[in-house]
Amino acid sequence: MSRLYLDGTKIGYHLDELNKWLKGEFFPPIHIEIGPTSACNHKCFFCYVDYKKENVGYLKKGLYLKLIESCRNIGVKSVLLAGDGDPLVNKNTANAIELAGRIGLDIALNTNAVLLTPEISKCILPNLTWMRVSVMSSEPDCYAKLHGTHPSDFERLVENLTFAAKYKKEKNLKVTLGVQQVLIKENANTVAKLAKLTKEIGFDYYVLKPFHLHPDNAYDTPGDLHEKHKAVLKRAEKLSSENFKSIIRWNIFEDMGKRHYTRCIGLPFILQTAGDGHIYTCCPFYGNKEFSYGDLNEQSLEEILRSSRYRDVQKKVENEIDVNKCMSYCRHHNVNKFLWSFRTPPAHLNFI
């Protein structure tokens, strides 16, 4: 766990893609985040896609599996199943993860894990690179309030995570298991407790990240919570050991989502699909077809990536979108920071 890195970007290790990007040459995105469905079994009131009030979408089995194969065939290096709902609500997710394992595609899962039955764990854990579970509190009543569910879901969650950790150990699986908490005013005092519970369950890491504010959402939380509750966060951090990592994303908290770059230039490296089958520039534009590269129900992944619309939409975002009005801590933020410096190097570059 000493090599686990969650507080920045690893794009600097992908020199071939970076050089092609500088030259304006085509390359497949390094990473794709697939939303198998826009449906979720929880109703978190701080969810970053809470602004969406539209019909539920699902990737049908044939399309879902074809997309996984297409990612591998075109040269995508990693896939995260996440999106605008919980991936396990789509009953084809386990099949998709098994397929990715068979064809050698790096695949990961983000879930609230209430639907992660022992049977599903046995199916997916051998094929996952990592699994990250969203948990907002270690206290059943607080958990139920924040997740928009019943306290019994917390009991089911703990049972599911305990089984997953035990199964990983028994089978000596390589999958990395983690719990992620978003710091908001309603759960700030539970941070150390949740980190401790994560360690006791037998997971590999706990991570705390800032709240992502979408400009169209009503909910907000103070931006200085990491300072006001620093003692609690430090207690959580001290739980790190040889076999467990407790990570407070200090760099992101202190960054406060401020942008020293003036344009979004990182879109070619990361794609995001939503449950409606569209590939979007980024999650803040889910449902907005103006920022869709194309519809997977109508075109293949390669057709969309090779289309003129793929390039045109990226240029539109780069030239017309004011990044200072974008969602704080967006998925492309760290990539944009790196690329901005990479494309505009300082003087006397050879004096390293």
Phi, psi angles (nearest 5°) of residue 237: -65, -35
- Say what the pLDDT of residue 54 is: 59
Dist. CA 94–CA 56, nearest whole Å: 20
Helices (H), 24-178: 61-74, 93-103, 118-124, 140-147, 152-171
Contact criterion met (CB below 8 Å) for 302 and 69: no
Question: Mean pLDDT per segment of 10 residues, for the chain of length 352 residues?
Answer: 79 96 96 95 79 73 97 98 94 98 98 98 98 97 95 97 98 98 93 98 96 74 87 96 94 81 96 93 90 96 97 96 85 92 88 88
- Say what the pLDDT of residue 253 is: 84
Dist. CA 179–CA 171, nearest whole Å: 21
Dist. CA 175–CA 158, nearest whole Å: 18
- Say what the pLDDT of residue 223 is: 81
Q: For residue 66, give both structure tokens.
A: 């074809």
Contact criterion met (CB below 8 Å) for 124 and 171: no
- Say what the pLDDT of residue 98 is: 98
- Say what the pLDDT of residue 52 is: 59
Taking the model in full, what pTM does it have? 0.93
DSSP 192: H
- Say what the pLDDT of residue 271 is: 95
**Look-up: residue for tokens 């394992």?**
101
